[in-house]
Amino acid sequence: MNGSTGSIAFNALLLLGALAAFFAASALPSGNAPETLPPAALPQAVAVLVGALAALCLVRELRAWRYRRAATKVAGRRSATAGVALVALMAAYAAAFEPLGYLLSTMGFIVACVVMLGFASRARNDDEAIFSTRSLVTLAIIAIGVPVAVYCAFTWGFEVPLPTLR
Amino acid sequence: MIENYLNGLSMISDWGVLLAIAAGTLLGVVIGALPGLTSAMAVALLLPLTFGMPAVMGVGMLLGVLCGAGAGGAIPSILLNIPGSPASVATSLDGFPMARNGEAGRALGIAIVASFVGGIVSAILLSMLAPPIAEFALRFGPAEYFALSVFGLVIIASVASQSMIKGLIAGLLGLFAATVGMDPITGVARFTFGELSLLTGISLLPALIGLFAVSQLIKDAIDYANVGSRHDAPIDALQIRTARPRWRDTFSHWRALLSGVGVGSVIGPVPGAGASIASLISYDQAKRWSKTPERFGSGNPEGVVATESSNNAMIGGSLIPTLALGVPGEAATAVLLGGLLIQGITPGPALFADPSGTIYGIFLAYLVANIFMLLVMWLGIRYFVRILAVPRKLLLATVTTFCFIGVYGVAGDIFDIWLMLGFGVLGYFLNRYGFGTAPLVLGLILGPIAEANLRRGLLIFEGDWSPFLTRPISATFLCLAILLLTLTLWQNLRSRA
């Protein structure tokens, strides 16, 4: 137990989620098999257990927090932003996957991801600066070459259809 | 008996058959090494290639794929902490810390030998013990399957690294996620919220890739922004050059090797159990048998030996019910079963009585596939890990696209990608706050087996719970579960004191 604000918030979320799951399970119909458990039985039991254990964790975290009087900082603002930015890019990639097709969306994602990570680490005097000629060439080769190779392998090699531009 | 094996030998003593097995093994290793592409998917993808082949050649190629993918999964697990397949989840627990400690070559070398030993032992066991073990597995009813699942779920407590309570929470979350979809007895739709893709439940592949790959990618992006690429390159070329089979090193951890091969061989024939369960159980057992259990999770070679030997021993074990009874041991062998039927081979007791000796050809093909796996991994490892020479940010971006295509390629459903992202974010927070993702996966895998068999059992026993406790096999599993739980609680209390 580290007593960090994030950890407390996560345990509280688990507790709330367990409560919501319990009530959602209560609304399930009972089905037509009287000699066995109803469909809601296992989800309800699990929700109760998760809720009880999460409450226990929450109490322990709050106790640890009170003694420490300070939240633990795991990641700085810049690094946390990189994580959030990556998730946002992945979501955008998922949203564009079918409308733009595999090739365009993947090329776009690779470029955006590499540029984002390049910016995130550039302030730390990274040797591998994204805007050097060599790294731009590498980026172009990877961003075009990998999706095209994978597309060919899946479409013609494995005969697995991938989405194309609509 | 010898005549049957001579018949089988004549079937595989053909350049075409040997080439097909070698090609299958090579492709299996490559696909297994790609995060998100499981051995089941590898077998399914290469299945069409075998259509025009003679039976033993086609089945031999698929067995090579199965074998190669099982071993290849260790490469990204060790080097990137991204399991190539669910079976390699436990390998990353110690393999990745070894790589981080500058022992990537050693970890890979140990993984190669452990996989080979596990595979060879399982091939021998498959050919020698198939009838009696299959007969034993036939005795399993709902009570036994339920008890086995409970036993597996109790492992959650020991797998969770930081706290047993947090491990249990993560396991229960997996169990809850497993209840999503159509109820197995009444057909009632649970927590689907009108989404058709959820009717069949949460697909394992998006969940696995999300929990193990996407969560790791998010963490890697954060680490990358923190320290830049100069400090977080996973391994250097020198380490890979030392990646050759480590025979003496592997055999020096004979306890872990024995436990891995033993657990894999025993769990393998149990239908539905799967390689991920076998490797997690063998990891847990190796930890218990070890003289240095406290080093597990921080780069102990015993962890790699146990899980990799178990993965490959499990493949042979899972082939026992597949070939003897027509009941697949896990997802990959289920796809293989389809391949056998396409080849005109109907698995079951009749296959063993077939005078042409095809089954013995299959046994020998599996043995040969394991030998090829050793050669392919040994000679090709430095080429398979070339991907790591790519700058970290490019690797992060391309691995993400592989995750997307791996998830999308199976069913062509964009919902699976969103599911993967959801599990990825959840997995990141579970790891960050010490819950771990492995317990969630175990809950997700065992949940449907436990629930369906518990309720089916109650239907059969007319609502009576006592047979779950009185049937000998079921009682043994439940006693073992109680024993494990007590032992873990006692160990936790002792370490706190």
**SS3 annotation, chain B:** CHHHHHHHHHHHCCHHHHHHHHHHHHHHHHHHHCCCCCHHHHHHHHHHHHCCCCHHHHHHHHHHHHHHHHHHCHHHHHHHCCCCCHHHHHHHHHHHHHHHCCCHHHHHHHHHHHHHHHHHHHHHHHHHHHHHHHHHHHCCCHHHHHHHHHHHHHHHHHHCCCCHHHHHHHHHHHHHHHCCEECCCCCCEECCCCCHHHCCCCCHHHHHHHHHHHHHHHHHHHHHHHHCHHHHCCCCHHHHHCCCCCHHHHHHCHHHHHHHHHHHHHHCCCCCCHHHHHHHHHHHHHHHHCCCHHHCCCCCHHHHHHHHHHHHHHHHHHHHHHHHHCCCCCHHHHHHHHHHHHCCCCCCHHHHHCCCCHHHHHHHHHHHHHHHHHHHHHHHHHHHHHHHHCCHHHHHHHHHHHHHHHHHHHHCCHHHHHHHHHHHHHHHHHHHCCCCCHHHHHHHHHHHHHHHHHHHHHHHCCCCCCHHHHCHHHHHHHHHHHHHHHHHHHHHHHHHC
CA B176 to chain A, closest CA, distance in angstroms equals 6
Residue A122 or residue B373, greater confidence = B373
Interchain proximity A75–B222, CB inside 8 Å: yes
Contact B165 A124 (CB under 8 A): no
A97 and B229 within 8 Å at the Cβ level: the answer is no
B467-493 pLDDT per residue, tens: 888 998 889 888 888 887 787 777 766
**Torsions phi, psi of B190, nearest 5?**
-115, 130
Cα–Cα distances in angstroms (integers) from residue A57 to residues A61, B154, B172, B392, in the given order: 6, 19, 14, 36
Which of B223, B386, B394 to mutate: most A Cβ within 10 Å?
B394
Average pLDDT over residues B162-178: 84
Q: What interface predicted TM-score (ipTM) does this complex get?
A: 0.90
Domain count, chain B: 1
Chain B CB contacts of A12 under 8 Å are: none
List the single residue in B45, B221, B425 with the smallest CB-CB distance to A82. Answer: B221
> Nearest-5° angle of CA B169, CA B170, CA B173?
85
For residue B188, the chain A residues in CB contact (below 8 A) are 28-29, 31, 39
> Which residue from B minimizes the CA distance to A29?
B188
* Structure letter (DSSP) for residue A30: -
Contact yes or no for A57 and B432 at CB 8 A? no
The least confident of A55-69, B35-49, B209-223, B293-307 is: B35-49
Specify the pTM.
Answer: 0.70
User: At a CB cut-off of 8 Å and minimum separation 6, what does B255 contact?
Assistant: B286, B289, B290, B302
B185 contacts A36? CB cut-off 8 A = yes
- Interface A-B, measured as beta-carbon pairs within 8 A, has a size of 197
CB contact under 8 A, B226 and A75: yes
Are residues A142 and B45, on separate chains, in Cβ contact within 8 Å? no
Could you tell me the residue range of the domain that residue B146 belongs to?
2-496
CA distance A49 to chain B (A): 8
Looking at the DSSP assignment, which residues form a beta bridge with residue B190?
A: B181
Q: Alpha-carbon distance B136 to B25, whole Å? A: 31
A81/B225 touch (CB, cutoff 8 Å), yes or no: yes
pLDDT at residue number A105: 94
pLDDT in tens, B383-440: 777 655 557 788 788 878 878 887 787 678 899 899 999 999 999 999 888 887 777 8
Kindly list the domain boundaries of chain A, sorted by start residue: 5-68, 77-157
**What confidence score (pLDDT) does residue B45 get?**
62
Residue of B nearest to A11 (CA): B433
Residues B116 and B369: their CA atoms lie apart, in Å, by 10
Q: Which residue of A has its CA nearest to B397?
A: A110
Best probe of the A interface among B173, B393, B408, B415, by most A CBs < 10 A, is B393
Instruction: Name the average pLDDT for chain B.
Output: 79
- Find chain A residues with C-beta within 8 A of B224's C-beta: 82, 117, 120-121
Is there a contact between A86 and B221 if contact means CB atoms under 8 Å apart?
Answer: yes
